[in-house]
Amino acid sequence: MSVSDQIMKGLLDGAILGLISQGETYGYEITKKLEDHNFPDISEGSIYPVLLRLSKKGYVNTRMVKSDSGGPKRKYYSISETGKKELKVFKDKWEKLNSGMNSLVRGD
Amino acid sequence: MLSKEAERFLREFRIEMMAHGKQDEAIDDMEAELEDHLIQAEQDGKSVDSITGGSVKEYLKNISGEMPRVNNLKKYIMLFIVYLAGILTIPTLIAGTFEWSLSNLMYYAAIIVLGPLLIYKVYSGVIINHTCFKTEKIAPKGYVIIAVFSVLKMGFLIGGLFLVRNYPLVTFFEPSSGVNITIGFILLAVMVIGPLIMKQWFYSFLAFALAAPEIIAQIFADGGPQSESYITISAIALLAASILIMGTLLISSKKDAKKAKN
């Protein structure tokens, strides 16, 4: 995996946790929101390993809801207390990293 | 309504996750989630590639890494191999005809190792390529493949037995039929009691049902395993045991389906 791929992978965890913190949501809606925010270079399916990882770490709560139209069940995600704490840590780190990287890349 | 490509992807997902020992509940949840996603993505004019990024295999590998596994999977695989070896050899041990030769042991080792691998490859191929996702019905082409595979499998099993009998290579020892029968009954006791302790009553029943024809023939036949009456009695008992096993499997799968619906 290239350096840029690894960066994207780490950022995607934080981005998805951030989206979930805005309100209960589900897989396809998350990909739409990522698209709306111009999150670059990801296949839609790559959010599912991330969602599994966030769930395993206890950062998100999940519930399955039966479809009224006979379709498959839909899994909804909401942020947990641990998730909120983790998101705060992520935001702090991201702000410092962002400013550091900008300074380095632009040669400020 | 999903496209054929999307249905194929979902079947491949299920088979791969099952083969990697992932937990049933996690597979069901993720399959529902992917199906829900694909329905909406296809309505928006996207293809399966939008999920996988172009490589189904690579994507399944990524997702598999995050899905929870059945606990103690390696232990269960080892137990399965031991159990398979047991139920395959016990009938011939009880008949007193088991040959302790290199070729015979290699024959059983090949069945135990290659058998499940080939069965997995053929059946997973049929399920992925020739089964309806919603109804889970196999298409006629799938039945043809299974039938051809079954005939070939029987051919190899019978041909293998012929080779083993004519070319023993090395005979380790030639115990009396009494010794073979004793070993057979000890192994049978292990294969029946072991699963019962683990509360897996079906495996206990299966081991007994497969050995029962030989036990019945040993008790009621006039001659030895080569005699006409022995072969007739054991064949009829084997047929009855097969019907019982199939019936039990059918009832238990119907029960499981009913449970899953609720």
**Residue boundaries of the structural domains of chain B:** 4-66, 73-95+170-262, 100-167
Between these two residues, A7 and B107, which has the higher pLDDT value? B107
Domains in chain A: boundaries:
3-106
Minimum CA–CA partner of A63 in chain B: B29
Tell me, what's the pLDDT at B150?
92
What residues in A contact B262, CB-CB < 8 Å? none
Tell me, what's the pLDDT at A108?
55
In this prediction, residue A106 has a pLDDT band, given cuts at 50, 70 and 90, of: confident
CB contact under 8 A, A45 and B53: yes
B64: pLDDT strictly greater than 70:
yes
Which of A51, A43, A45, A63 lies closest to A15 in space, CA to CA? A51
What residues in A contact B52, CB-CB < 8 Å? 43, 45
Kindly provide the ipTM of the predicted complex, given to two decimals: 0.87
| Residue A53 to residue A77: CA distance in whole angstroms | 13
Q: Which class would CATH give A3-106? A: mainly alpha
A62: pLDDT strictly greater than 90:
yes
State the residue for tokens 């000890």.
Answer: B186
Minimum CA–CA partner of A74 in chain B: B33
CB contact under 8 A, B66 and A49: yes
In this prediction, residue A38 has a pLDDT band, given cuts at 50, 70 and 90, of: confident
**CB under 8 Å to A74, separation ≥6 — which residues?**
A26, A64, A65, A67, B32, B33, B36
Give the global pTM: 0.72
Which of B127, B130, B128 lies closest to B141 in space, CA to CA? B130
Q: Average per-residue pLDDT in chain B?
A: 89
| Residue A65 to residue A46: CA distance in whole angstroms | 22
| Residue A27 to residue A94: CA distance in whole angstroms | 24
Tell me, what's the pLDDT at A107?
66
Minimum CA–CA partner of A53 in chain B: B66
- Residue A77 belongs to what H/E stretch? strand A74-79
| Residue B110 to residue A55: CA distance in whole angstroms | 42
